[in-house]
Structure 1
């Protein structure tokens, strides 16, 4: 019999104790802690970070360093930088994982599914035909075949130059 252990998800699933303050602001300010926070790349005003609770291996987010809670707060240059990072992240995902598709989007507001409502961010989720298998559908469990550290190393190795 095979065992699936994902004890690290218990805090997320049960809504357990969470760090105070905005996690994205903390990550944005602690540039010397990129490995610990799973930051794949940084721009001048935004960064790319792995989702700690990914839907699939390679699930990334592009996040502004500034604490901005809605689209109206994003300046033109920040939007341009963030979309440039979305493109670079997409290219790295393609090179590292060869997904059959990639979902790219934002969840604005709790009703839309935002886990961190007060700080906008863009998700990139690589997808494959049949990736919502019986484990996700019946057992409400996702099986991720690699650690976040391995995912980060793989994506950094394929990050486009420049």
Structure 2
């Protein structure tokens, strides 16, 4: 079976060693009897989160001419649906009656896609009951499809509601589905400001679209 390439390791990430902890200033240390695993000096409150730094997206985030109001004019998602381009050219992976899934043009990881309603709506609370169910079910199916072709170790899934919450296109609600692998945040994006993607988006779209037909 064709697999979705990625930048992480195929091995499951190991659990932290017993006794490992963090200091109040963001310094990660090991327990008294164990070896030191890592040390990071700085100011912050430990929260056990893994950071997925994305400096490569700064240019896009600071971009102009992104839709902010209720009008669908200028909305790139609505343009995808209104254009005469094929789903292949638009990177649309799958469609349903109320929602569709499309690859992110600025992916965090290979296979990063978005699930969203056809209707131009900004806030999650404005979805109809049918749209709410459809988004949830399509998200579940997207996870199963991605697992079938790439076996990720985990996922980041969520909605960014409003520009202050990090939404790049806040006017049209979209749910991110980001596959994650151990070691996928390495020195290239963090130091080199470069995200290495081992597969072209068109090839990723074809792989996921084919798998979507097989996986329920």
Q: Verify the 8 A CA contact 1:28 1:46 in the aligned structure 2.
A: no
Which has the larger Rg?
Answer: 2
2:163 to 96, 107, 110: 110
Alpha carbons 2:109, 2:179 under 8 Å: kept = yes
Tell me which residue corresponds to 1:54.
Answer: 107
C-alpha distance after superposition, 1:56-78 (max 9, x if no partner): 11000001110101012101111
Which structure exhibits the higher relative contact order, with contacts defined as CA atoms closer than 8 Å and separated by 6 or more residues?
Answer: 2
Alignment check: 8 A CA contact 2:155 2:178 kept:
yes
- 1:77 matches 2:130: yes
State the secondary structure of the residue aligned to 2:86: helix
The residue number in structure 2 matching 1:148 is 201
Please, what TM-score do these two structures have when normalized by structure 1?
A: 0.86
Please give the per-residue CA displacement for 1:34-57, whole angstroms capped at 9, x wherever unaligned: 111100000111100000000011
The 3 A distance-change label for structure 1 pair 137 and 32 is: closer
The answer to whether 1:65 aligns with 2:118 is: yes
Judged with a 3 Å threshold, the aligned counterparts in structure 2 of structure 1 residues 31 and 156 are, in CA distance, closer, same or farther, namely: farther
Q: For residue 104 of structure 1, give the secondary structure of its aligned residue in structure 2.
A: strand
2:98 corresponds to: 45
Give the equivalent residue in structure 2 for 1:15: 63
Give structure 2 stretches of 5+ with no counterpart: 1-56, 68-72
Larger helix share, 1 or 2: 1
Decide whether the 8 Å contact of 1:28 with 1:47 is kept in 2. Answer: no
From the superposition, tell whether residues 63 and 13 of structure 1 become closer, same or farther in structure 2 (CA, over 3 Å).
Answer: closer
Q: Structure 1 unaligned segments of length 5 or more: list them.
A: 1-8
**Residue number in structure 2 paired with 1:122:** 175
